[in-house]
A and B are shown apart, each in its own frame.
Chain A
Amino acid sequence: AQSVTQPDIHITVSEGASLELRCNYSYGATPYLFWYVQSPGQGLQLLLKYFSGDTLVQGIKGFEAEFKRSQSSFNLRKPSVHWSDAAEYFCAVGRYSSASKIIFGSGTRLSIRP
């Protein structure tokens, strides 16, 4: 069965520090991988996605993620966080064919220390 694990429920980093949010997936076929961000009262916004090709994916707001098939991971990174990055981050996996549903992880809440 498809599943996504985000092992960190809550992370706090200082403004200007680097960030890495972990994501591991379980999937029996070629996955589509996503990172979404959800701010309070806002809808989910796509940060980046990976389908194929270069395993280092660039996204919006200065985020990037690296797909590592051998580790079944798709970690999100940002070299220097801003206070506005405080939000909930969700990793998700989609099925390559026959359906469009996306399986989300349980999320990592990011807090920024001034």
Chain B
Amino acid sequence: DTGVSQNPRHKITKRGQNVTFRCDPISEHNRLYWYRQTLGQGPEFLTYFQNEAQLEKSRLLSDRFSAERPKGSFSTLEIQRTEQGDSAMYLCASSLELGTSGGAHNEQFFGPGTRLTVL
């Protein structure tokens, strides 16, 4: 399967613990995105990378959240000191952007998501 993969698929943790999620994009894709989706809502943009550079972060991404893409391939999203309000589905997507304008030109392919439950 050459699609976007995310691990783990499910994570249950206690409040105050740290969690880390991993996303493996489609191999030739240079852009990688993180979104958060809560029940009954559409995905909300968190951040995105062009290769290893993090180019934009949403105000939703508090200082407890950090994302990395160290070699421009896979990415990790870490949440420190988790809170119950962090419970959500965390989605990763990737795309291949050939232009330089930075617009949402090309299709973002989404992974299946990691469902986080904070007790």
Establish whether residues B112 and A100, one from each chain, have CB atoms under 8 Å apart when the complex forms.
no
Is there an interface contact between B40 and A106, defined as CB atoms closer than 8 Å?
yes
Taking each of A45, A46, A99, which has the highest tally of chain B beta carbons within 10 Å of its own beta carbon?
A99
Bound CA span A4–B31, Å: 23
The answer to whether A44 and B110 have CB atoms under 8 Å apart is yes
Q: How many residues of A contact B (CB 8 A)?
A: 27
Which B residues are in CB contact (< 8 Å) with A49?
107
Tally B residues with Cβ within 8 Å of A. 30
Which B residues are CB-close (under 8 A) to A36?
110
Q: Does A90 contact B (CB under 8 A)?
A: yes
Query: Is B58 an interface position by the 8 A CB rule?
Result: yes
Determine the distance from Cα of A42 to Cα of B95 in the docked complex, in whole angstroms: 18
Flag the segment in B42-50, B62-70, B71-79 that touches A: B42-50
Contact A32 B104 (CB under 8 A): yes
| Contacts of B3-43 to chain A: CB distance below 8 A | 3-4, 31, 33, 40-43
B102 with A43: CB separation less than 8 A: no
* Pair B41/A107 contact, Cβ less than 8 Å: yes
Pick 13 A–B contacts, CB within 8 A, sort by A. A43-B111, A44-B91, A51-B105, A92-B42, A97-B101, A97-B102, A98-B101, A100-B48, A100-B104, A101-B56, A101-B104, A102-B108, A103-B45
Q: Tell me the B residues contacting A by CB distance below 8 Å.
A: 3-4, 31, 33, 40-45, 48, 55-56, 58, 91, 93, 95, 97, 101-105, 107-113
